[in-house]
């Protein structure tokens, strides 16, 4: 008689682990710079989520080796709970697939987002998000797609905005960023989302 097959043999993957196990299914060829670039472009979804055509005028993208920083103004991401979830709005954006979609955002702007910031978080060795909103600075850190702790208030501020920083996980993605292609893609972002200017500062 053959081996018994039952529910005990089924592995249920938690959180963003499916993306880390099979990145090619969610992001593309792990040996292609196009896939590595996609981590930056998916992270731009955060600006789209803040209805950037109205609230964000400038986005600064800095690349230093495998580290990327995306810094933009606006009101800062919401700090409350995600509707129907125990997660904060920010943690849901970072860990729930397709949560970056916004029905009120223009179709053109939505076309910039695939899976969204979750794929960037999942395929980064670490990722931090810092939000300045309503007089306070909030920060949360993730490692390999998982939050290392809750969203924490770390200081006061008179400004507002959002900063995302991450380091590409080289155990999963092998190709370097293609900076000329990334510049072209960010110019497309400017055309699709009116009134937004994107500045790219890249270092080796």
Distance (Å, whole) CA 85 – CA 42: 23
Which residues on neighbouring strands pair with residue 128, listed in sequence order?
141, 165
Distance (Å, whole) CA 135 – CA 176: 38
Strands (E), the chain: 58-64, 67-72, 124-133, 136-143, 146-147, 152-156, 161-168, 197-203
Query: Which positions ≥6 away from 111 have C-beta within 8 Å?
Result: 192
Residue (of 168, 176, 167, 171) closest to 33 by Cα position: 176
Residue (of 174, 132, 127) closest to 156 by Cα position: 132
| Rounded average pLDDT over 82-97 | 85
| Rounded average pLDDT over 68-93 | 86
pLDDT tens string 19-54: 898 999 888 999 999 999 999 988 887 776 665 445
**What predicted TM-score, i.e. pTM, was given to this entire model?**
0.85
Q: What is the pLDDT of residue 46?
A: 72
Q: What is the pLDDT of residue 16?
A: 83
Distance (Å, whole) CA 178 – CA 160: 31
Q: What is the pLDDT of residue 13?
A: 59
pLDDT tens string 105-123: 555 455 555 577 899 999 9
Burial class (CB in 10 A: 0-12, 13-18, 19+), 17: middle
- DSSP, collapsed to helix, strand or coil, labels residue 5 as coil
58-64 vs 67-72, strand pairing mode: antiparallel
Distance (Å, whole) CA 115 – CA 123: 12
197-203 vs 136-143, strand pairing mode: unpaired
Contacts 24+ apart (CB under 8 A), 1-4: none
Which residues on neighbouring strands pair with residue 133, listed in sequence order?
136
Out of 3.30.565.10, 3.40.50.11740, 3.40.50.970, 3.40.50.720, select the CATH number for domain 14-203. Answer: 3.30.565.10
| Rounded average pLDDT over 73-98 | 84
Which element (helix H / strand E) includes 185?
A: helix 179-192
pLDDT tens string 1-18: 566 666 566 555 567 888
């Amino acid at each position: 008689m053959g081996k018994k097959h039952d529910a005990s043999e089924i592995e249920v993957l938690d959180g963003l682990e499916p993306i880390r196990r099979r990145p090619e299914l969610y992001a593309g060829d792990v040996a292609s710079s196009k896939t590595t670039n996609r981590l930056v472009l998916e992270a731009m979804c955060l600006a789209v989520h803040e209805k950037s055509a109205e609230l964000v005028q400038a986005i600064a993208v800095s690349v230093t080796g495998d580290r990327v920083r995306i810094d933009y103004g606006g009101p800062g991401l919401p700090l409350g709970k995600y509707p129907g979830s125990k997660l904060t709005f920010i943690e849901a954006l970072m860990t729930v697939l397709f949560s970056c979609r916004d029905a009120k955002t223009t179709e053109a702007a939505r076309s910039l987002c695939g899976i969204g910031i979750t794929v960037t978080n999942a395929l980064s060795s670490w990722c931090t998000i810092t939000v300045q909103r309503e007089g306070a600075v909030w920060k949360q850190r993730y490692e390999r797609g998982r939050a290392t702790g809750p969203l924490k208030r770390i200081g006061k501020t008179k400004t507002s905005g959002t900063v995302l920083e991450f380091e590409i996980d080289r155990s999963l993605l092998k190709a370097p960023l293609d900076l000329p292609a990334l510049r072209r893609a960010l110019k497309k972002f400017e055309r699709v989302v009116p009134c937004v200017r994107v500045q790219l500062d890249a270092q080796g």
